Amino acid sequence: MREVAIIGVKNTIFGEQWDRSFRDLVVEAGVGAVKDAGITGEKIDSMFVGNMSGGQFVEQEHIGALIADYSGLAKNLHIPSTRVEAACASGGLALRQGIYSVASGMDDIVIAAGVEKMTDVPSAKASSALAAAADREWEGIMGATFPGLYAMIARMHMHKYGTTSEQLASAAVKNHQNGQFNPIAQYKNKITIESVLNSIMVADPLHIFDCSPITDGASAVILAPADIAHEYTDTPIYVKGTGQASDTLALHDRRDITTLDASVVAGKRAYEMARMGPEDIDLVEVHDCFTIAEICAIEDLGFAKKGEGGKVTFDGETAIGGRIPVNTSGGLKACGHPVGATGVKQAIEIVEQLRGEAGKRQVDGAEIGMTHNVGGSGATAVVHIFSRNR
């Protein structure tokens, strides 16, 4: 396969954007990424767009063509554009399809984007739409939504490993600490362990500050064959590994609900492809849809021993300047979580860090970074490893 590099990136602001439409958001991200790569639309061979539920959130399917159209790439250029969906892992999988297409040699310059417009519906409708990422016939139909499912994971993690509410909260506190330095972040306020513990209980033991928010946003990257990436930018970032894995849709079918086997296997596949291990990674963006998800993720990817994710986080090992900085962007918790966009935004955070352009959240000397994007309660996981050196 051909090696692949990222040559351009762009996020919109993440947040409640009632004055902007679904299509406004994704066009801003796409056009911004094209500009960042210094190319024009005619250079693009294909587009892949991650979106979980345009149908339920904005009554619009056929998202790929919509985006090509509103980006001015459909009418005369007729650029192929394909939507990819795997719930909250849609963005990560759009990136993976883009990698496939460049690796195959069928395409050279490719856009991989993600978008979600979630605030145009009442929050009960948003919860219901998101619950469609769980097993509707075994979970959703019983009234289970994601805070409840992740609360069960958290309760079991506490039971098996002695993880505490304070340790969970420390993940949110760190992510807000990082988010204040990210211009696109939905929340730029600092919080404390006390404010997390005193916030409303959503699904015991998860408080509302343990939960990522409902967000509007879009993100896009431009991919190119590694061989010609330097023609477009002085700082191409190389894709060294990609791994994807599935697991049962319903949580109750898993062998162990405190381990997301899909994360473990996707990580393993990405590490093998990159010929690397956790010790080679300088920073990682993990899928912290809830604080417990970050704790599980750093264990499942090999950055903490099983059961010690909470302790490691509480002790500051995952802060900027710590042993392995986690979610320098602010993560889903503080940066926001437009579900289709998140996987692409994670890649952009790593690109900005490896380019040395992350400002006050810069990880010194970062050379290799990882992203970890999860769908639902772990039925899909996709992991990518990036390097500033080929």
Tell me the window of 9-17, 55-63, 175-183, 365-373 that interacts with a second copy (CB under 8 A): 55-63
- Quick one: which of 172, 199, 198 has its CA closest to 337? 172
Phi then psi for residue 164, to 5 deg, are -110, 160
Q: Which 263-302 positions form the footprint of a second copy (CB under 8 A)?
A: 265-266
Q: Three-state SS for 120?
A: coil
41 burial level (CB within 10 Å; 0-12, 13-18, 19+): middle
Number of residues near a second copy (by CB under 8 A): 71
Q: Is 315 in the site for a second copy (CB under 8 A)?
A: no
Q: Shortest Cβ distance from residue 233 to a second copy (Å)?
A: 23
Q: Is 374 in the site for a second copy (CB under 8 A)?
A: no
CA distances from 168 to 37, 186, 211, 233 (A): 39, 20, 11, 40
Among 11, 12, 81, 175, binds a second copy (CB under 8 A): 81
Q: Is 62 in the site for a second copy (CB under 8 A)?
A: yes
Among 25, 111, 115, 134, binds a second copy (CB under 8 A): 134
Q: Three-state SS for 253?
A: helix
| Contact in structure between 344 and 67 (CB atoms under 8 Å) | no
Q: Shortest Cβ distance from residue 358 to a second copy (Å)?
A: 30
Tell me the window of 9-17, 228-236, 251-259, 324-332 that interacts with a second copy (CB under 8 A): 251-259
Among 27, 33, 37, 79, binds a second copy (CB under 8 A): 79
Tell me the window of 95-103, 180-188, 293-301, 358-366 that interacts with a second copy (CB under 8 A): 95-103
Among 41, 56, 164, 180, binds a second copy (CB under 8 A): 56
Tell me the window of 8-16, 32-40, 57-65, 308-316 that interacts with a second copy (CB under 8 A): 57-65
Among 21, 127, 177, 235, binds a second copy (CB under 8 A): 21
Tell me the window of 71-79, 217-225, 232-240, 363-371 that interacts with a second copy (CB under 8 A): 71-79
CA distance linking residue 3 with residue 225, whole number of Å:
6
Among 6, 27, 66, 347, binds a second copy (CB under 8 A): 66
Q: Is 287 marked active-site?
A: no
| Contact in structure between 46 and 240 (CB atoms under 8 Å) | no
CA distance linking residue 346 with residue 91, whole number of Å:
9
Among 20, 31, 43, 82, binds a second copy (CB under 8 A): 82
Q: Shortest Cβ distance from residue 330 to a second copy (Å)?
A: 25
CA distance linking residue 326 with residue 178, whole number of Å:
10
Q: Is 80 in the site for a second copy (CB under 8 A)?
A: yes
Q: Which 103-132 positions form the footprint of a second copy (CB under 8 A)?
A: 103-106, 129, 132
CA distance linking residue 211 with residue 195, whole number of Å:
13
CA distances from 280 to 51, 133, 175, 362 (A): 31, 33, 23, 18
Q: Is 135 in the site for a second copy (CB under 8 A)?
A: yes
CA distances from 30 to 9, 49, 170 (A): 9, 10, 35
- Quick one: which of 6, 4, 11 has its CA closest to 338? 11
Q: Is 222 in the site for a second copy (CB under 8 A)?
A: no
Q: Is 88 marked active-site?
A: yes
Active site residues: 88, 337
